[in-house]
Amino acid sequence: MEKSPVIIALDLPSQQEAENFLDRFQGAEKPFIKIGYQLFYRVGPTWVREKKEQGYSIFLDLKLHDIPNTVQKGVSSLLELGIDFLTIHAAGGSEMIRAAREVIDQAQSNLQLLAVTQLTSTDQTMLNNELGIPGTIAESVVNYALLAEKAGAHGVICSAQEAKSIKKSTSGSFLAVTPGIRLAGTDVQDQKRVMTPALAIENGADYLVVGRPITQAADPVAVYQGILEQI
Ligand code: C5P
């Protein structure tokens, strides 16, 4: 079955709230959900496996970053959950990414490994003065995307603004998954580089990650379906 191009960031504080939210989608097709630190550290792997078995597509956003052997063993454990997408930090280097990909291939899994390039919280001063990386954020993002692709990642997480240059620099099948999506005329909250769903797709995004515009809506299902229609 074709996966939905809209991934709902399930940034909720408890299993109960996550269940209540998902219950609203009863009758509709099960959405593609992103589970990050907040929920994963509360619900644990058992809940993730259960959701997968119930038919949800799952993006586990754990942003792995450690020595290659440790990351490889971690991915190996996560493979048992049957998840669809998993994040890893490109900053961990090619050997680490390759080690993660190796174990995915060995298991003949369809898990898509997505590299995080520069976090959207990193600004130019931090990049140059704290991290010691020369050049612009845009250059560093493309650099990391190329490194990630060469090492075996299936795609990257990037802002919709960066999607176009990443798609241009990488192969056609390399995925651009973009958070920072906001509906026209709504609050951008703490996101800095936002784009509407339609524009993000136009810029080359393959999947959109949408959190609060859906989770905090009075009618989340209507907003979710509205976004699907827009793209
Ligand atoms: O609520 P909102 O739509 O801003 O949620 C976006 C989601 O994407 C959050 O889970 C956030 O952690 C994640 N994310 C992001 N920017 C990145 C990487 C991940 O907003 N660079």
**pLDDT tens digits, one per residue of 120-136:** 888 899 999 999 999 99
Ligand 1 pocket at CB < 6 A: 9, 11, 36, 119-120, 157, 179-180, 191, 209-213
Q: Is residue 38 part of a domain?
A: yes
| pTM score | 0.95
63 flagged as catalytic: yes
What is the CB neighbour count within 10 angstroms for residue 106?
11
**Ligand 1 atom with the shortest distance to the CA of 190:** 4
- Report the nearest-CA residue for atom 19 of ligand 1: 179
The answer as to whether 27 is a domain residue is yes
35: in domain: yes
Q: What's the domain count of the chain? A: 1
Whether 1 maps to a domain, the answer reads: no
Structural domain containing residue 68: 6-230
Is residue 207 one of the residues assigned to a domain? yes
Q: Which CATH number characterizes residue 216's domain?
A: 3.20.20.70
Look up residue 23 and give its two tokens.
Answer: 């219950």
- Is residue 185 scored above 90 in pLDDT? no
Give domain status of residue 61, yes or no.
yes
Question: Mean pLDDT throughout 60-77?
Answer: 98
Cβ neighbors of 61 (< 8 A, separation 6 or more) are 9, 34, 35, 36, 37, 87
Alpha-carbon gap, residue 202 to 125, rounded angstroms: 30
* Residue among 3, 63, 164, 167 flagged as catalytic: 63
Q: How large is the average pLDDT for residues 23-52?
A: 95
Q: Is residue 215 part of a domain?
A: yes
Write down the pLDDT at residue 229: 94
